[in-house]
Amino acid sequence: MKPFTSAVFLAAAAVALVGAAGADGEISFEYHRYEELRKALVSVWLQCPTISRIYTIGESFEGRELLVLEMSDNPGTHEPGEPEFKYIANMHGNEAVGRELLIYLAQYLCNQYQQGNETIIDLVHNTRIHFMPSMNPDGFEKAASQPGEIKDWFVGRNNAQEVDLNRNFPNLDRIIYINEREGGANNHLLQNMKKAVDENTELAPETKAVIHWIMDIPFVLSANLHGGDVVANYPYDETRTGSTHEYSSSPDDVTFKSLARSYSMYNPVMSDPNRPPCRKNDDDSSFKDGITNGGAWYSVPGGMQDFNYLSSNCFEITLELSCDKFPSEDMLKTYWEQNRNSLVNYIEQVHRGVKGFVRDLQGNAISNASISVEGIDHDITTAKDGDYWRLLAPGNYKVGASAPGYLTVIKKVAVPYSPATRVDFELESLMERKEEEREELMDWWKMMSETLNF
């Protein structure tokens, strides 16, 4: 993955944009074409330079940058112990609402931070937040170029190569289902496979860029924003048997349901039990409380949601935000009002479960240590500083930390809804234990020798 580029690369355009968002940072509810998107992100950076930066993770097939706006009290740096969160939108280019909501959300957080909103200040100071408004800028430009307000249901959905990006990720569901039956790894199924990703000609450039992004940053929680329905969808997306509709639970089914509800419960349309289907013949029988299991709704192979969970530590859900994929511009404010509280509340969920550090007895960080939870067959791993975050629903758990060459440590933990419970681990090296046992044996032999006059 090429090095991240800071906001400096847009500085030349910034001077002309000082007043772009208005003196008070007022949100402008309108669609943003590619150049307008760049300007909107720069505007946020100019307004809140101490808590934001802009970087790119790569380019689309047609050469448009895949831009990310980061918000943190220390932008550009992973702070040990601070969780990483991401929102990613517009992977289907004609599903435009999420793209705009992320621009509005960035503007909103900047405004609220400057106005002294303690909830937002705390969120920014204790979370590293990443927004990618468009994973498929080529598709969006194609969809937005259609004349008139009513857009075709499919034009611009795929990237410029006509690849559906949400069917283009390595199909790790097939691997995990085999491992469930025959034994095998339950996490990080693409470990040490970066070269294979780069050489895979079936993967679109947008997909490759996002895969490297997921594997390079220790994301904890994520959501990808879509359109065409109104529901929060959680893993697994692909069914175990190949059936079109089949509830396909992950090991973290309870936690994923709770995460999905944390979004739907604050969205009055999504959580409305009497909401009619978006279209007359739609099958939304799997929807309950505004959430659905992906496989129960319809099977999706090669999706980004399951890839996150099975290739990294990141828990991701899919948010369908609007019946219309590309609604008229005058509806954007309404969608923002419906989703604003949900978008903020979902970020806050990154501070749930257990968190802490894994170190050796000398206080040195142990990276890539495994964190396991009894009864949940899905482990996560520590980041380079030995820090970890393990999302969990409220309950009592036995949490273990292990690493090659060290003795495993298991602790009992009572987990509330929030905030995350701090659980640190100190692991003893097997070499240290063997040396200790050798010294104990020598002391015993010396004592016996003296006692028996050997």
Asked if 320 is an active-site residue, the reply is: yes
Which of 171, 136, 168, 169 is CA-nearest to residue 155?
A: 136
Q: How far apart are CA 292 and CA 284, in angstroms?
A: 9
Cα dist. 239→71, 173, 245, 294, 376 in Å? 36, 8, 7, 8, 19
User: 426 has which bridge partners?
Assistant: 359
Comparing CA positions, the residue from 131, 128, 166, 135 lying closest to residue 58 is 135
CA distance 168 to 194: 16
Residue of 248, 244, 344 lying closest to 305 (CA atoms): 248
How far is it, in rounded angstroms, from Cα 270 to Cα 408? 44
Q: Which of 59, 76, 73 is nearest to 7 (CA)?
A: 76
Characterise 446 by phi-psi region: left (phi > 0), alpha (psi -120 to 50), beta (else). alpha
Q: Name the residue among 217, 176, 181, 278 with its Cα closest to residue 86.
A: 217
Give the angle subtended at the CA of 172 by the CAs of 168 and 177, to the nearest 5°. 140
The answer to whether the beta carbons of residues 102 and 89 sit under 8 Å apart is: yes
Q: Bridge partners of 179?
A: none
Query: Of 1, 108, 3, whose CA–CA distance to 52 is shortest?
Result: 108
The catalytic residue among 65, 206, 320, 348 is 320
Catalytic residues: 320
